[in-house]
Structure 1
Amino acid sequence: MPAAQRSQAPLPAHLSPSSPAPARWRRPGWRDPRLAGGLALIGGAVALGAWAVDSAAGTQEVYILTRDVAPGTDLTADGVLALVDSRPGSGAYIPAGSLPGDAIATRSLGKGELLPTAAVAPASAASQRSIVIEASLGLPKGTGAGDGVDLWQLPDGQAPRSAGAAAPVASAVTAQPSVGTGPAGDSSQESQEGAGRARVVAQGLVIRAVNQERTSLVSTGTTTVEVLVPEGSVADVLTAVGSGRPLVLVPTGQGS
């Protein structure tokens, strides 16, 4: 009898002679784009960190305005200044701890503005004086602290109409020619008074603060305005205030 034949089980597919050999793992080379991308990311992160550290080291605290201020404002008062980290890059702004104890603003400054060194002076060096004036005709709309104005005086018998008439009257006064102050303008001013015309009392005033209008049973509405007056014009302004004649503040378009 023929010998019994043994049955052979089929080989697994991965051991079959016809199956391809498994690929061998190769270490990425320097030209692999994935390696180059990873190195670029690492380099960028290092550079960004170095820049952040350098920026933090170069900042300093400087003063910033928390509200609008007019010339002559006391900068040491509460609620006027705050400190903020900044990189001014020069000595153009006052750093923390360097503000004089009697510092005032020499010009109009806006809220959010860094405090410039050139806009600060000691109060003892100020050449302006603060005087409160009752503007008989009020102020034109949009006029406020920091705006430049001229002070006009109405003649005798020229009663103010109302506070609401401030804008048209101020425009009309602005159209009239200015009259010089001082000895050269005295005769001209006197002639204007005699003719029943308004006259210029002082020029170059700056509004420091404006109070609400007030009215009484015997007078029309007035607006109390605190103005900064050049030292040479203080006597003229006080004389006009004491005369009892109506006073009008006319905006000049200068200031903040």
Structure 2
Amino acid sequence: METRRHTAADELPKPAAHRLQRPSWRDSRLVAGVLLVLVATIGGAVAMRHYDNSVEVLQASHSLVPGQKVGSSDVHVVKVRIDKAGGTYLSANDPLPKGEVLREVRAGELVPRSAVGTSTEVTVKAVALPVETSQSANLVKGSVVDVWVSKKDQSKVGQESYAAPFRIIGRAVVARVPSTGGGFSVASDSGAVHVLVPDDKVAQVLEAVNQGAKVDLVPAAGSPLKGN
């Protein structure tokens, strides 16, 4: 009978096999890991809120012209990240201002608080100017034009003769354009182009129109036009 030889390996401890177990909510390491994730998430959100200086302000939905009131359809809310923007532009958290627009605000422009004031601060008047339909066809509310006048030559009776044109107003804002046209508008017609004329120029413009002067509206560089 063969005798098994005893070796040193027989004296080494045998490793015990352990079955893998699912981690339990009672496992302190799992709880600590979940807490660390929650703390990091909350901390990140708080930090972002702390350093986010964005505010909600009002942006012009279309051109705003001097003398008009600001309604809900004229503006919409946008969120911007500009230092101290809340003090410069109309805040979305405040009621709409009850005053009138003092200067042109183009479509897409943030509405400055300084652009709205009382009616006594408006320094322009809307004057209806007779122009050919070909000139008014491309104009829109908010277009910027130079107003040129050619005075009628009163010495030539029965003849359509005009003096050399001169610019009477530079960079005037169009307040209204005719919805339909028919060749040539007259000053009293609702189809005339209404242009915002500075107070100190109103008398001069009306005098020229009443004396039959020819009026031309020339769009200024960069002016909003129909189709642009």
Q: Does the CA contact (< 8 Å) of 1:151 and 1:247 recur in 2?
A: yes
Farther-moved stretch of structure 1 (101-110 vs 46-55): 46-55
After the TM superposition, which residues 23-34 of structure 1 pair with which residues of structure 2 at under 5 Å, given as runs?
23=18
Q: 1:107 aligned to 2:74? A: no
Cα distance in 2 between the residues matched to 1:122 and 1:47? 47
RMSD: 4.1
After the TM superposition, which residues 5-24 of structure 1 pair with which residues of structure 2 at under 5 Å, given as runs?
20-23=15-18
What is the aligned counterpart of 1:147 among 139, 143, 146? Answer: 143
Partner residue in 1 for 2:179: 212
Deviation string, structure 1 residues 197-235 (Cα, Å, up to 9, x no partner): 2233333421122223421xxxx3446211111111101
Q: SS of the residue aligned with 1:228? A: strand
After the TM superposition, which residues 26-175 of structure 1 pair with which residues of structure 2 at under 5 Å, given as runs?
41-51=37-47, 62-75=57-70, 77=71, 79-82=73-76, 89-90=83-84, 91-95=87-91, 96-97=93-94, 99-111=96-108, 113-136=109-132, 138-139=134-135, 142-156=138-152
Distance 1:197 1:60, change over 3 A: closer
Cα distance in 2 between the residues matched to 1:86 and 1:196? 52
Distance 1:85 1:199, change over 3 A: closer
For the pair shown, the structure with the greater C-alpha radius of gyration is 1
Partner residue in 2 for 1:235: 203
- Stretches of structure 1 lacking an aligned partner (at least 5 in a row): 1-17, 28-33, 158-193
Normalising by the residue count of structure 2, what TM-score does the alignment of the two structures yield? 0.63
Distance 1:242 1:100, change over 3 A: same
Distance 1:142 1:201, change over 3 A: same
Report the alpha carbon displacement of residue 241 of structure 1 after superposing the two structures with TM: 1.9
- Stretches of structure 2 lacking an aligned partner (at least 5 in a row): 1-12, 24-29, 154-160, 186-190
Q: Does the CA contact (< 8 Å) of 1:212 and 1:224 recur in 2?
A: no
Q: Does the CA contact (< 8 Å) of 2:131 and 2:184 recur in 1?
A: no
Q: Does the CA contact (< 8 Å) of 2:139 and 2:177 recur in 1?
A: no
Structure 2 residue identity aligned to 1:70: V
Cα distance in 2 between the residues matched to 1:105 and 1:127? 8
Cα distance in 2 between the residues matched to 1:73 and 1:214? 24
Distance 1:124 1:155, change over 3 A: closer
Q: SS of the residue aligned with 2:219? A: strand
The number of aligned residues is: 190
Distance 1:211 1:236, change over 3 A: same
Partner residue in 2 for 1:198: 165
Identity %: 22
Q: SS of the residue aligned with 1:241? A: helix
Structure with more helix by fraction: 1
Cα distance in 2 between the residues matched to 1:245 and 1:61? 49
Q: Does the CA contact (< 8 Å) of 2:59 and 2:111 recur in 1?
A: yes
Normalising by the residue count of structure 1, what TM-score does the alignment of the two structures yield? 0.57
Structure 2 residue identity aligned to 1:108: V
Report the alpha carbon displacement of residue 239 of structure 1 after superposing the two structures with TM: 1.0
